[in-house]
Structure 1
């Protein structure tokens, strides 16, 4: 029973940490261009790095 006194606050702290990280990512613009990476893989750009 005493382990619950440790695990419950730990779980709440980890949840708040995850929520804080999510809000930080929202504010810093991490979720602005969700379709950009999906469309970039379809582009055929000749980089000139490899053999023709």
Structure 2
């Protein structure tokens, strides 16, 4: 099982978020929120990306 870690968003996390986004889109999974909304929420400490 994976150990979870919760921490504040860092700008270095963008690469991981974009990779996850591209992987989902390539798998024909339609995200609930637009990428711009996800990034804005991360910047304002309102979102968790897992």
TM-score of the pair, normalised by structure 1: 0.36
Larger RCO, structures 1/2 (Cα 8 Å, 6+ apart):
2
TM-score of the pair, normalised by structure 2: 0.37
